[in-house]
Amino acid sequence: METDAELVWKSAVDLTAMMKTGQVSASEVLDAHLDHIAEVNPKVNAIVTIAAEHGRNMAAEADRRQAAGEELGLLHGLPIAHKDLANTAGIRTTHGSPLMADHVPTKNDLIVERAVDAGAVTMGKTNTPEFGAGSQTFNAVFGETVNPYDTTRTCGGSSGGAAVALATGMVPIADGSDMGGSLRNPASFCNVVGLRPSPGRVPAWPKANPWSYLSTEGPMARSVDDCALLLAAQAGPDARNPIALETPGIFFAPPIAEPTSTLRVAWAPDLGGLPVHPDVTAALAHVPQVFDGLGHCVEDACPDLTEAGYVFDTLRAWSFATSYSGLIEKFGDKMKETVRWNVRRGMEMPMAENMKAWKLRGELYQRSVTFFEDYDFLLCPVAQVPPFDVKTEYITEINGVELQTYIEWMRIVTDVTIMNCPAISVPAGFTEDGLPIGLQIVGPPRSDRALLEIAKQFETATNVGARRPVL
């Protein structure tokens, strides 16, 4: 019989297999995680709403189905805490905002609905910055979530609570969302895996602008196989989302095979000239040699992403105005300043500026498609800086280069967002003072399965993700 300490560090793939075969019950697995949360969460503040009884009822139902010999889902019995931007029926959902501190939805968002339908056990919500704005997880409702590798540092964001919950063994799988790095950045800062799928791969509903390709929802986990397991439950078409891709989710289910052929891989350590902190550069210096040792052809190359920053900032402002202008008009200064700034910029933006951004995005996409005619994958850092002081809201300077907005320090992920390609953050190294650094692997459009395969190969070759924090 596994001990509670052993259960919470089991992979999601192994855990659900054990529950399906009756080696352990879903109720026992949940209780082990709840006990672990009680011990660990006060130190990091990752899970901000705990729905223990809700989870116990779901776990009991999972055990009943297993005992009755009923068909069991991909995520049978797996405890999950959903990002606090996702609506959960009967469980408080605050969006990290005092305006919604007491909000209890009556319906699940689609990403929650699919996890529940696949057999997962909802037992809480993970922390996020207010309305997901910024890659630093703090808000006026719950406070800050800290990095388990150094509790004086940030865990990143906006899916920061999810990353920390995974890194500390409080959940085996977690969901998140990513407009400008919110699945990738916290994964890098916390030594876990975060996948930004192809837009439409994981359909979102409800959504203020369902036609937008800017923001995606997706999986996080401690390994590539576990990430693929959750993606298999999340992905697949849904008529309520007009950009949903048709490939069934089961196509992405583990086990994930590793590539068997030689690949041509582009290495872009600063993604075309962005400022990158020396600690990040040093921690990833071995990456080309790893891929070369795996038999792949590695070349220094990068697509031309010159206008990507302008395009992202413009479309992000438009997106924030679409989603939150009504709240700004009603509540004004009760919202975080960075949210207000983004909304104001979107509302005041001339139509000509928006048109220019859409035109440039089309050109950037075509350049990306052309780039991937010559290369199978693009490699670069996930973050331009290592995890920084948790009291610093955002980075304003890198290597002497001054940054003007709260978004600019994340250019290395926001530029990739504009490529409209799937991208994954995989544990890759540590700084000399023990802070995690992730590798960003970008694939051609809609190459999510192949992206998982090369990420799995790198994960197996390096085993960096096996290093756990000591609180």
Q: Is 125 a catalytic residue?
A: no
User: What would the two tokens of residue 445 be?
Assistant: 């459009």
Tell me how crowded residue 406 is: count the other CB atoms within 10 A of its CB.
20
State the virtual CA torsion across 316, 320, 322, 326 in degrees, nearest 10: -170
Strand order in the sheet with 47-50: 47-50, 121-126, 79-83, 173-178, 216-221, 193-196, 423-430, 436-442, 377-381, 264-267, 297-300
Q: Give the type of residue at 375.
A: Y
Q: Is 10 a catalytic residue?
A: no
The DSSP secondary-structure symbol of 90 reads T
Q: Is 158 a catalytic residue?
A: yes
User: What would the two tokens of residue 214 be?
Assistant: 């800017």
Closest by CA position to 15, among listed 67, 59, 69, 61: 59
Helical packing angle, 224-234 and 110-117, nearest 10° = 110
Q: Which of 177, 182, 368, 447 is catalytic?
A: 182
- The secondary element (H helix, E strand) that includes residue 176 is strand 173-178
Cα 2 from Cα 20, distance rounded (Å)? 15
What residues form DSSP beta bridges with 82? 125
Residue 156 to residues 152, 178, 218, 233, 263, Cα–Cα distance (Å): 12, 12, 17, 26, 31
Tell me how crowded residue 6 is: count the other CB atoms within 10 A of its CB.
10
The answer to whether 149 and 434 are in contact (CB under 8 A) is yes
Would you say the C-alpha torsion 72, 75, 79, 81 has a positive or negative sign? negative
Closest by CA position to 169, among listed 10, 364, 331: 10
Q: Which of 83, 125, 207, 336 is catalytic?
A: 83
The answer to whether 129 and 153 are in contact (CB under 8 A) is no
User: Hunting for tokens 């905002």 — which residue is that?
Assistant: 97
Would you say the C-alpha torsion 108, 111, 117, 118 has a positive or negative sign? negative
User: What would the two tokens of residue 402 be?
Assistant: 């001054």
Phi, psi of 438 (to 5 degrees): -100, 155
Q: Which of 27, 97, 135, 158 is catalytic?
A: 158
Those residues with Cβ within 8 angstroms of residue 376's Cβ, 6 or more apart along the chain or in another chain: 263, 264, 265, 443, 444, 450, 454
Strands 423-430 and 436-442 turn out to be antiparallel
What residues form DSSP beta bridges with 138? 144
Catalytic residues: 83, 158, 182
